Amino acid sequence: MLPAELDELVSELGQPAYRTQQILDWLYVKGAREIAQMSNLSKSLRSLLSERTRITSLLEVDRQESATGEAVKFLFELPTGQRVESVLIVDGDRRTVCLSSQVGCPLDCKFCATGRMGLIANLQAGQIVDQLLQVSLYARERGERVTNVVMMGMGEPLLNYDQVVRALKLMRLEEGLGLGGRKITVSTAGYVPGIRKLVAEDLNVGLAISLNATTDEIREKLMPINRKYKIADLLEAARDFFDRRGYRVTFEYVLMAGLTDLDEDALRLAKLTRDTPCKINLIPYNELEEDGLYRRPSRRRLDQFYRLLRDSGTEFTVRESRGRDIDAACGQLYHQQEKVRTAL
């Protein structure tokens, strides 16, 4: 619940206003799983709350840690029995949680395991936030603290817009999780209407766009959404986002051998983004063990691509994907989930 909604409920129950903060603290700081746990509330108030509302939690059914300890993947089950994955990524002092917004995804990106599921269900805001709460509690038990959130897990966040925005507002509550806008990034495959709506929101969160190709022809083969929203549309939306929100968009670019890693791709990428305030995040492809449709470029090819970008004066970062050994890296979510399902 958002504070205004909880204020209204507390008022309807004839309770003093300070009860709102107590309940928010139980929900978003202490991570209460049941109203009965709220021990500083009277029994009568807990009973009234139980009659009017309930806490619906995800069930953690599996947890895997990478060999390096740099990633932990969580498998959560919804009350409906459907499952989603979240990942805790460890990078120096940063602890980033990668959250899912849907069960599956409708966009059918050819290189992404989640896209092969199709859309099964949209998550509710509380289910999105509960992923963060449970992973945060895990981190806290290890003496650590979550510092960043990325909406880059299963699903297209901007196709579950209302619930995702509600979840983002809950994450930013000063009375609760208190994450700053610059600590939260929403990633999209390029759903331009959703980007336009996000620009108008008073959220000030970061935006990442999965570009992944430098021509519409190749991008359309990889990402069917490009049939409707072309590369030029994405660049325009990115410029608008910067003009309105003051944040540079991050363009994510997956490098696939012989497909998106050519010399001409590097040169086109530099040219495409030259006049757009943006950051470029290069992601060497994380292979899906079952199909072999796409391959990770060789070290030599990657170095050549990086050199061409540097020589063109283009700034970029390279994502060192963590958790590849547990299928927790970019594009791999759900791949391992089927194996977990059969093992339970």
Catalytic residues: 85, 330
Continuous H helices in the chain = 3-12, 18-28, 43-52, 125-141, 161-171, 192-200, 216-222, 231-245, 263-273, 299-311, 337-343
Closest CA to 191 of 150, 160, 151, 153: 160
Sequence-separated (6 or more) residues with CB below 8 Å from residue 338: none
CA atoms of 188 and 184, how far apart (whole Å): 13
Task: Fill in the amino acid letter for 9.
Answer: L
Task: Fill in the amino acid letter for 33.
Answer: R
- Burial status of residue 49 (CB atoms within 10 A of its CB: 0-12, 13-18, 19 or more): buried
**Running DSSP on this structure, what letter comes out for residue 58?**
P
Vertex 192: Cα angle to 187 and 198 (nearest 5): 65
User: CB 77: neighbour CB atoms within 10 A?
Assistant: 16
Residue carrying structure tokens 């620009």: 199
CA atoms of 284 and 292, how far apart (whole Å): 15
Q: What residues form DSSP beta bridges with 280? A: 251
- Burial status of residue 277 (CB atoms within 10 A of its CB: 0-12, 13-18, 19 or more): middle
Q: For residue 236, give both structure tokens.
A: 């325009």
Helix (H, G, I), strand (E, B) or coil at 211: coil
Residue carrying structure tokens 């945060």: 136
CA atoms of 97 and 95, how far apart (whole Å): 7
CB 208 within 8 A of CB 281: yes
